[in-house]
Structure 1
Amino acid sequence: ALYLVHWPVVALYRYHTGRALAPLEQLVLGAVMLLLAWLLHAGVERRFYSRAGDPGPAARLPDGRFALVVAGLVAVLAAPALHAWLGDGWGWRYPRQQLSAAAIEAGEQRRFLDSRSACNLRLGTDGACAGAAIQVLVLGNSHEVDGYNFLRAIYENDPEVALVLFGGTEKCGRLRVVAGTVRAQYPACTDRFAALMTPEVAQRFHVVAVSASNRAFSRIAEPFLVATRALRAYNPSLRVMTFGSYMKTRVPCARLINETGVSAACGRPENLDYFEADPASDR
C-alpha cells in the first residue's frame, strides 16, 4: 500500500509548488503517505484479500513485536540518509575543501592563458588571423576574455575561424556615449573606438560577439552596443551575438563557500541575481 501511494503524493505536490521540498514539508508528506497507506490497506487490501491456497497457520510475530521490528528496520535504513542530510553530504564522498585566496587568484588568472596569445586589435597582432574564412570580433571590457574563452572552447583550433580580440577597456577609464560615439576618460581609448567604428573594420568581420557584462543589455554594455550598431550600419550582413548570464551570484561563489562552509549557499535566493525577461528593464 505504501509503495502505491508514496509517489503520487510527492509528484503532485512538487507539480503544484514547482520547488524542492523543505524539511517540514517532507515530514508532513511522510505522515500523509502513512495515513493513505493505512487507508488503502484497511479499505481495500484487507477487504479483498483472498487466502485461497494458504497452506495453513504460520508462525507470526505478535503485533507489538512486529511493530518494533519494523521500526528498527526503518531506523537502520533511515540513519545513513539522515547522516548525509544533516552533514551536507558524506564527507568521505565529497570532502569539503575550502579554497585559499591564493588558489582562487590562481584560478582566476587561468582565464587569460589562451587570450594572451590571441589576435588582438589593440596590440596590432590581428594581421596574423587575416587569412581565416570566418572573422569574429570579440568586443568587451574585462569580460571580453570570457566571451573569447567560450568561443574558443567551441571552435578550438579551427583554421577557418579567427577569433580577434578588441583588447578590452581596462585602461580606458570611464566610458560614455555622446551623440552616437564612444568617449573614454583617456583620449587613446577614444581613438581606439573611433578606429573600430569604421567601414574597413565592418567589412572585415563576419560576426561581432559582445561580452561586456553579466547582463547583456545593461548600461555597462552600452558603449559596446553603440559600436556594434555603427558596424552594422556599414555592414548590414554582420552577425551579432551577446553574452550574458541568466543567473549569477551577487558575490563570487567561492567566497560564499568559504564564508558559510557549504556549497548550497551559492544557490540560495538571497545570493542570486536573475536576468530580467525584458532587456529594456535591465538597463
Structure 2
Amino acid sequence: MKRTNASGAVTFFLLTAAIGLPLMALLIGSVGKRWYFPQLLPATFDTEAWQQVASGKVWEATLTSFGIAGVVTAVAVAIGFPAGRVLASRQIAGVNVIRLLLLFPALAPPVMLGTGTQVFFTLTRLSGTTVGVVLAHLIPAVPYAALVSTGIFAGFNFRLEEQARTLGAAPWQVLWFVTRPALLPGVITVAFFSFLISWSQYALTMQIGGGRITTLPMLVMNYLGGGNPQFASAASLMMIVPTLLIIALVYKQPGNAQSGQW
C-alpha cells in the first residue's frame, strides 16, 4: 500500500512538473528580457509584452482565432457526431474501411494536407480567405470528431431509444429525454477536441490563409521568427488560457464532476 502511494505521489509530481515548468518558463519569459543560458532568471524585467498583448493587433488575432475555431467546432460536431453514430451502429457496409480512411486526415501531417488543399483552394479562389481557412481546419477536425464520436456511441445502449419509442415517446422526446442526457458529456468532449484542433492550427492557416488571415498561433510564430521570445511567450499564454477554461468547464459538467472523469 505504501509503495502504491509513493508511486502515485511520484507520478503526480512528475506530471505537475511536466505541465508547471513550461508554464512557469512562459510566464517568466513574458516579463523578462535578455534571458540567456545558463542564467536562471532574465537580466531585466518589464511589461512591454503584455502592453503589446493589450493592443488591438493581438486582440484582433485572438478574436479571429475564436471565430474560426467556433465555426469549425459547430460544423465538426454537426457532421462528426451523427457520422459516429452510424459507424458505431454498423448500419452501413465497410465500416472498418471508412474508419481507416478517417484516420488519414486526422493523423496526416498538416503541411501535407495543406499542400494539396492549397492547390484546390487557389483554383476556387478560397485561398487567402476566412472561409478557406475554416474549410481547411475542417479537414482534420471532422474525421477526428467522427472517430471520437464512434467510441462514444460504442458505449451507448441503443435499446434505450427503442424502448422509449415502444412506450409511445415522440422522436423529439427520445432525443431530449433519453439520448441527450446520456450523450451530452460526449458531445462536449467532441466539441472540446474539435475546438483545440482549430485553435492551435498553424500550418493549415499559414498555407491557406497566405498571411492574410492572422490568428493567434500565426502571431506567436511571427514573434518567434522575428527574434522576440518575450512577445511570443505572452501570446502563447493567451493561447493557453481559453484551453484551461474549457477544460474547467468540461470537468464541471455534472457527470464529470462527480466521477472525476471526462
Q: TM-score scaled by structure 2?
A: 0.26
Q: Pick the structure with more helix per residue.
A: 2
Which of 1 and 2 has greater Rg?
Answer: 1
Q: Which has the higher contact order (CA 8 A, sep 6+)?
A: 2
Q: Pick the structure with more strand per residue.
A: 1
Q: TM-score scaled by structure 1?
A: 0.25
